[in-house]
Amino acid sequence: MKIDPAVRIGHVHLKVSDLDGALAFYCGVLGFELTQRYGTQAAFISAGGYHHHIGLNTWESFGGPPPPPNCTGLFHLAILYPTRAALADALRRLTAENIPLDGASDHGVSEALYLRDPEENGVELYWDRPKESWPRRPGGELAMFTRPLDLDDLLREP
């Protein structure tokens, strides 16, 4: 039995060591809006007036170090942008703040930017191409790939 196709992942909740630093990145750089804050311990942020897409808290992590790279845990959270132009705007924001990218890829079905937030959490910013343009094999199955993304071409988006 398959899961209902309307099921979506609704939000992510991140443990952070510095709530203000996390808010400066997610709200100040990426442009999310603060929807609710619980003092110095937690905050909820969203795009477009949703109750929250990202929760940030220091309940178990205040002042703590990021996890080492060789352990289990979150690989990255992925933030879906509605258009290629919106992704280009995100790249411009990152560039203006001198936030380095870990990578940038064309996956055929999407284009993605990879980076780290101030807590060293992996973050993917991406947009999906229209489903009808996704690469497929002769049998119809997806033929995703990973190729370098041309950032100069992305920045030419209005």
pLDDT for residue 69:
84
Of the candidates 142, 145, 110, the residue with the CA atom closest to the CA atom of residue 124:
110
pLDDT for residue 93:
97
pLDDT tens track for 104-114:
999 999 999 99
Q: Are 56 and 43 in contact (CB under 8 A)?
A: yes
23-33 mean pLDDT? 98
pLDDT-above-70 percentage for the chain:
100
pLDDT tens track for 45-92:
999 999 999 999 999 999 999 988 899 988 999 999 999 999 999 999
pLDDT for residue 9:
86
Give me the residues paired with residue 111 across strands: 106, 127
- Does this chain's domain 10-62 share its CATH topology with 75-158? yes
Q: What's the whole-model pTM score?
A: 0.93
Give CATH for domain 10-62: 3.10.180.10
User: 21 pLDDT exceeds 90?
Assistant: yes
pLDDT for residue 64:
94
Q: Name the CATH superfamily, with its identifier, for domain 75-158.
A: 2,3-Dihydroxybiphenyl 1,2-Dioxygenase, domain 1 (3.10.180.10)
pLDDT for residue 10:
87
Distance CA 104, CA 75 (A): 16
User: 138 pLDDT exceeds 90?
Assistant: yes
- Residue that has been written with the tokens 């196709």 in this structure: 5
Tell me phi and psi for residue 90, to 5 degrees: -60, -40
**Domains of the chain by residue range:** 10-62, 75-158
User: What does the mean pLDDT of the chain come to?
Assistant: 96
Residues with Cβ < 8 Å from 113, sequence gap 6 or more? Answer: 87, 90, 91, 94, 101, 103, 104, 124, 125, 126, 149
Helix, strand or coil for residue 17? coil
